[in-house]
Chain A
Amino acid sequence: MADTQKLVSLRTCDNVLHKVPEHLTLQMRTIRNLLSCKIFSDTDTVIPLPNVSSQMLEFVIKWCEAIGPGDKALGSMQLSTLLTATLPDLEESELVYDLMKAANYLEIESLLEATTQHVADEINNCNSLESVCELFGLENDIGPDDEEGEWW
């Protein structure tokens, strides 16, 4: 079917111009707010996204397509599994964090919930302090001055 759908122009931080169907961008609250202002509603305007890279935007678009516009609010567990399903190369941790930042900047509720739940699950799977430190590359800088004993 021929689509008279509007395309929105987005320029990412690496100066690449992306044309994205409007119904997908409506899931991103930041862009939705911008589009609701009359100034941006003609097709010539380009919306700059200085905090988002091309790679991230591609992921985000894939996600928005997977979720679909009219869906009811999915539970965070379902979202998390959807995340690992649609974006399988997300196993490396740094991509998750970049995606999380992009979701935060673009205000995509579902993606933010999915990525944060994913990281929370990773923390839950850790059996000890050391593994948490290892997982996130952190250093334990708490001295023996903890006033709270281990109640568990």
Chain B
Amino acid sequence: MSLLAYNGDDVSSSDTEPDALIDFTAMLMQRQNEYGNWLGCGGKMQNDHNEQGYHLEQYVLGVLDFSSQYGIDYSISYTAANIIGRPTKFPAYGDYPETFTMRTYGDWWQRAPSATREIQPQNMPAVATHDYIVVYFEDFVVPTEVAIFETYNPGAVVRIWAHSITKNWVCLWKASAEELSKSGPAESRAREARRFAPPLKKTSIITKTLRIDFNHSRLHYYTEVDAIMLCGRTVSLRRMQHTLQELQRTGPISCKLRSLKFQPSCRDNYALKLHEFINNDLSKFLVDNKVDESDVASATATTQIVASNVPDICLTDLPFEILLKILSYLDLKTLFCVGQVSRTFYDISTHPLLYGELNLKPYWQLANSELLCTLAKRATMLRKLDLSWCGGFGDVSPTEFKKFLTQRGDNLTHLRLNSCKFLNATCIETVGIVCDNLTELSLRNCATDPPLLNFSCLANLKNLERLDLFQTAFESELLLSMLEGNRKLKHLNLAFCGVSVNMDNVASHLATYNTQLISLDMWKAHFLSARGLQSIARCTQLEELDLGWCLREASLGDGLYQLLANCPKLKKLFLSAVRGTTERDLVHIATLGKNLEQLDLMGILNITRERIYDILVNCPKLQLLDLSFCDNIMERDFDVIAEWSRMFNVDIKSSHVPYDAR
């Protein structure tokens, strides 16, 4: 049914609020309309005389979505938009800002105080996806090759998906766990750019949209992608028309029948066709599908033999709570499968205790409104819900989501809705009204304009301990009132919140209302000054602070000193590109940063060898030190630094502009 559900009109009719559709969804819809109404787009270079189509190689035309990027949207450095078009740097290898880079690398973020645990972890596949990007190309093709141009630290691509014209996602390639572990430790991999084009699954789908999944855990440093190329055979107008029409004509039953070899043609004159079928083709049908007497007999015979092999005790003799415990280890998909085995198993597998935690992120390509509806019936004791990445392209309707939340959301303690494109303002309001027991709310990658998080939509939440608004737009007043209301806040992520938020104000609110804060991420925030830094210093429980690319304008004064002096528990301190950091500040870090484990000093010009040595000697717990682009460090120093890295057992990153490019 989800195959039929989406077309331009339906979305707006299912959601009759005035502010129903946000810009991003509108843009997606527009793309969808283009797919649906390609007839109206005016002959797109498809050659209808040539039924075979011709081989076409194309580069990315535009980016639909990405889970994270290193740069901020209005900049051209390290942003997702750099993946558009031809490669600009390939085959050169190096850390170039003209490429697409994601925010994280390795497992450093999992080791930080702000790390979270996956909800319903048994759902996660062997090779998990950390980040993704969705790109589209100009022309529809049947894909034969996808080439990804990696210009720095290759090896993070783990899956390639294609969005077929029939509105479902097909996985063209995925990395196996063995392949990943065979590739060896990061340091030993060759430092050269790579055109990565893995063998794709043989398919006849028609597509012009791809999604690439990345996994960073084995990366030494950031991975950077210069371009993506999609190669395939073009398709004639007639063939596309045919595929779409078949799609519209079929309902769920025909779709199921299609999976069998036999396909009845159900066009006109049903009665006659049926009569003919019964007279002529029925026996062949039965033979083809192996349902004849002897087979049935032998099938039951085998079951009987098996049954006699299994002695007195059987799985269903076990007490209920043990069976429940067994099923609690299964992932969601298997749980549904097991429910089909017998009535007993159906009753056990639908028990609410198995649905206390729900994570649909690994099934993002399958999740739709019907699934939500089904789960709503079972999940009466739901406490943790993760719908991240689901519902793009209209598979989940806002109405269904709100219904689900209203039914099952009042006991939720953890809610993750990262990159959920179906969200609109009323959805957020529903969260605010229904889910007042939330201790964790994660709304990453929701950068709509105007922001969905506005006015007092989440004012009812008073128990938050974790709030993650990475790459999300929100109104300042809302954030400030939430800080006031949630005194127990421990983890706050405001990375990429944009120019409209004054960080000094946020900092002074934190100092007044949220002194139990443990981790704070202000990556690329604006208007943070030395005064703001002094306010942050009042959160004495701080263990993690990310001030990357903040404080561009000001000098730090003694803000950093106060921070280090007042927050002795600090384990992770990121000062990437905080140019106001002076040599004295570095001395303070060495003297006061006794518990530091991760330190990022990228781009700080005042660093000298002596200061680095000081820090290495005086911070015994240091594990990560990023000295990339510290232009004051001479080339000859890098060998010494590598030696210190071994001596002190600290991972030191020292990426720099390639010397031939200076």
A-to-B contact residues, CB < 8 Å = 76, 93-94, 97-98, 100-101, 104, 112, 116-117, 119-121, 123-124, 129, 132-134, 136-142, 146, 148-152
Contacts and interface: CB of A to CB of B under 8 A. Distances in A.
A109 to B, nearest CB: 11
Contact of B342 (A93, A124, A139, A146): A139
Contact of B317 (A97, A132, A149): A97
Contacts of A148: 336, 374
Interface stretch (B104-112, B180-188, B306-314, B502-510): B306-314
B318 A138 contact: no
B196 interface: no
B311 A152 contact: no
Contact of A123 (B307, B326, B370, B374): B326
A120 B326 CA distance: 5
B311 to A, nearest CB: 6
B313 A94 contact: yes
Contact of A120 (B327, B333, B341, B366): B327
A137 B314 contact: yes
B363 interface: yes
B318 A100 contact: yes
B337 interface: yes
B289 to A, nearest CB: 15
B70 interface: no
Nearest to B308: A137
26 contacts: A97-B315, A97-B317, A98-B313, A104-B319, A104-B321, A116-B326, A116-B328, A120-B326, A120-B329, A121-B329, A129-B340, A133-B303, A136-B314, A136-B341, A137-B306, A137-B315, A138-B314, A138-B315, A138-B341, A142-B346, A146-B340, A149-B252, A151-B366, A151-B368, A151-B370, A152-B366
A89 B303 CA distance: 25
Nearest to A139: B342
A101 B315 contact: no
A101 B334 CA distance: 24
Interface residues of B, number: 41
B371 interface: yes
Given A94-B311, A97-B318, A138-B345, A116 B325 contact: yes
Contacts of A117: 329
A121 B344 CA distance: 20
A96 to B, nearest CB: 10
Of the listed residues B307, B322, B363, B370, the one surrounded by the most CB atoms of chain A closer than 10 A to its CB is B322
A93 B306 CA distance: 13
Contacts of A101: 318-319, 322
B305 to A, nearest CB: 10
A21 to B, nearest CB: 28
A94 B317 CA distance: 11
Contact of B316 (A76, A116, A138): A138
A76 B321 CA distance: 18
Interface in B208-243: none
Interface of B: 252, 303, 306-307, 310-319, 321-322, 325-331, 333-334, 336-338, 340-346, 363, 366, 368, 370-371, 374
A98 to B, nearest CB: 7
Nearest to B2: A151
A89 to B, nearest CB: 16
Nearest to A104: B322
Of the listed residues B307, B310, B312, the one surrounded by the most CB atoms of chain A closer than 10 A to its CB is B310
Of the listed residues A100, A104, A120, A129, the one surrounded by the most CB atoms of chain B closer than 10 A to its CB is A120
Contacts of B307: 137
Nearest to A148: B374
Given A116-B326, A120-B328, A123-B326, 18 more contacts: A94-B310, A94-B311, A94-B312, A100-B318, A104-B319, A116-B328, A116-B329, A120-B327, A120-B329, A124-B334, A132-B337, A133-B342, A134-B306, A137-B306, A137-B315, A138-B345, A139-B303, A146-B340
A149 B339 CA distance: 12
B5 to A, nearest CB: 14
Given A116-B329, A148-B336, A140 B306 contact: no
Contact of B343 (A120, A129, A141): A141
A149 B371 CA distance: 9
B370 A132 contact: no
Nearest to A76: B329
Contacts of A123: 326, 330, 334, 338
B303 A134 contact: yes
The 4 A-B residue pairs whose C-beta atoms are closest, nearest first, are: A120-B329, A137-B310, A136-B315, A116-B326
A123 B329 CA distance: 10
A142 B374 contact: no
Contact of B322 (A100, A129, A141): A100
Nearest to A105: B319
Contacts of B310: 93-94, 136-137
A117 B330 CA distance: 9
Contact of A124 (B330, B340, B341, B368): B330
Contacts of A119: 315, 326
Contacts of B318: 97, 100-101
Contact of A132 (B341, B343, B368): B341
Of the listed residues A101, A112, A119, A146, the one surrounded by the most CB atoms of chain B closer than 10 A to its CB is A119
Of the listed residues B312, B313, B330, B363, the one surrounded by the most CB atoms of chain A closer than 10 A to its CB is B313
Contacts of A116: 322, 325-326, 328-329
A141 to B, nearest CB: 5
B145 to A, nearest CB: 28
Contact of A142 (B322, B330, B343, B366): B343
Given A120-B329, A151-B336, A141 B315 contact: no
Contacts of B315: 97, 119, 136-138
A142 B342 contact: yes
Contacts of A98: 313
Contacts of B363: 152
A104 B344 CA distance: 20
A120 B370 contact: no
A101 B320 CA distance: 11
A133 B343 CA distance: 12
Contacts of A138: 314-316, 341-342, 344-345
Contacts of B344: 138
